Amino acid sequence: MTADNKTVYIAIASDILHRGHLNIIEAGAKLGEVIVGLLTDEGIATYKRPPILDFETRRELLESMRQVSKVVPQSSLSYAENLRAFRPDYVIHGDDWRAGIQEAARTEVINVLAEYGGELVEVPYTVGVSGSEVDAKLRPLVNTTELRRARLRQLLRLKPWVRAMETSNGLSALIVEHAKHEDPATMAVREYDAMWVSSLCDSAFKGKPDIELVDFSSRLQTIHDIMEVSTKPVIVDGDTGGRVEHFVYTVRTLERVGVSAVIIEDKTGLKQNSLFGTDATQVLDDPDQFAAKINAGKQAQTTRDFMIIARCESLIAGAGMEDALFRAKTYLAAGADGIMIHSREKDGEEVKEFLGSFRQEFPDVPVILVPTSYNHILEADLAKMGANVIIHANHMLRSAYPAMVDTAEKILRYGRSKEVDGQIMSIKEVLKIIPE
């Protein structure tokens, strides 16, 4: 029996309803009419993996429950907007939300309820079920080839922009998979959305130069190592893509293993890293030939989800803004799913200028930036300039190398390893970071 005219608000973010949710919904129904604040797909994507079931499906499932009167969208971790709109008499939550970002949401709920005399009811946490355990159990399911491949396009739809980080092996993939920053003051949770398999770093970890020397079989092994231990979408640095006849095979292979996108650059001859500056001669490919390569790749792919992104190197090669814009347009006409515009200028001005012009004609085409040299600009400001994917392209390698050199030299200097104990992780910690 429900109490007369009372309303109860319950926020639900999960894909899967577990016993804990059912207990809370049952408890809510005893107090009044249950309004479920269902986190939207966009809202969930602000702080964790997007849901497997989309909002409409989740809404219909919840609406079909006899204890639920109404389902309303909640667009972020904050309840405030909905509480002010619906003024429920009660908010019900499990009593397990007193830490981290959840604590901030809880405090806000208490404050907003106090504005009109609502009440927070906390029910005992259901022992044995937790959202994060359910999420962990779902990991193999969300990591199927199809779902993983599609996830980059999904994130581009759900988020204003996507943050990618270099991963060059299983270990850095684990780090990028789990790294998280929570800011209770703004209730913001930051994670990496995607993984970048850099040719520079894949080569450097093998002690080789970035000149397309590490062959595709070896690059593919790196990709397997990464994908085996993580779930985030993978963007592969395809260098020049090689010969057209080879690129079509590369596309099918990457697509088959669940990679979301390959980026190829319009250079020819011996490929050299773009950040060399004037020390290396960068030879641009003929735009029509490169466009034909993109087009052949697009014809070869078999799913709608896979993306082929054209990387325009005009600014790197000193060919100018007009050339960059002309090439970007040519590659899009050939079927490219997005443009990566690269620059090694420190102030970021040429990228800004490119985006200013490009966006007038192509407001919706995904644009990828690699702000290695203009890294003083905040991600959010790059996004305002028009970036959709921001890649931190080499920072795991560049942080690992100096640490390893320092340790190697110290052991030589001291004739034992005791002196480095304070700067390295314990064996116990090593055993802990690798999941069973």
Ranked by CB distance to ligand SPV, the top (closest) residue is 198
By three-state DSSP, how is residue 215 classified? coil
Structure tokens at 228: 């085996």
Name the helix (H) or strand (E) containing 400: helix 395-414
Under the binding rule (CB under 5 A), the answer on residue 199 touching Mg ion is: yes
210 catalytic residue (yes or no): yes
Structure tokens at 237: 């640095």
Interface stretch with ligand SPV, choices 267-275, 318-326, 330-338, 408-416 (CB under 6 A): 267-275
Q: What is the DSSP letter of 50?
A: P
**Which of 31, 200, 248, 261 is close enough to bind ligand SPV by CB under 6 A?**
200
Under the binding rule (CB under 6 A), the answer on residue 237 touching ligand SPV is: yes
Burial of residue 251 (number of CB atoms within 10 Å: 0-12, 13-18, 19+): buried
Nearer to ligand SPV, 90 or 374 (CB): 374
Judged by CB under 6 A, the chain residues 388 through 417 that form the site for ligand SPV are: 393-394
Tell me how far apart the alpha carbons of residues 394 and 392 are, in angstroms, rounded to a whole number: 6
CA torsion angle for 243, 248, 253, 256 (degrees, to 10)? 160
Tell me how far apart the alpha carbons of residues 142 and 154 are, in angstroms, rounded to a whole number: 13
Under the binding rule (CB under 5 A), the answer on residue 266 touching Mg ion is: no
Interface stretch with ligand SPV, choices 6-14, 155-163, 218-226, 271-279 (CB under 6 A): 271-279
Under the binding rule (CB under 5 A), the answer on residue 237 touching Mg ion is: yes
Tell me how far apart the alpha carbons of residues 174 and 113 are, in angstroms, rounded to a whole number: 40
**Interface characters, 376-415, with Mg ion (x: CB under 5 A):** ----------------------------------------
Q: Which amino acid is at 229?
A: V
Which of 89, 210, 237, 239 is labelled catalytic? Answer: 210
Under the binding rule (CB under 6 A), the answer on residue 372 touching ligand SPV is: yes
Name the helix (H) or strand (E) containing 96: none
Min separation Cβ 355 and ligand SPV, Å: 18
Under the binding rule (CB under 6 A), the answer on residue 294 touching ligand SPV is: no
Size of the site for ligand SPV (CB under 6 A): 11
Beta strand ranges found along 204-343 (DSSP E):
234-237, 261-265, 307-312, 338-341
CA-wise closest residue to 162 among 384, 2, 387? 387
Under the binding rule (CB under 6 A), the answer on residue 275 touching ligand SPV is: yes
Min separation Cβ 233 and ligand SPV, Å: 17
Tell me how far apart the alpha carbons of residues 350 and 354 are, in angstroms, rounded to a whole number: 6
Q: With contact defined as beta carbons under 8 Å apart, do 320 and 348 qualify? A: no
Nearer to ligand SPV, 105 or 264 (CB): 264
**Which of 91, 226, 309, 370 is close enough to bind ligand SPV by CB under 6 A?**
370
Interface stretch with ligand SPV, choices 19-27, 57-65, 157-165, 192-200 (CB under 6 A): 192-200
Active-site residues, by number, are 210
Residues making contact with ligand SPV (CB under 6 A): 198-200, 237, 273-275, 370, 372, 393-394
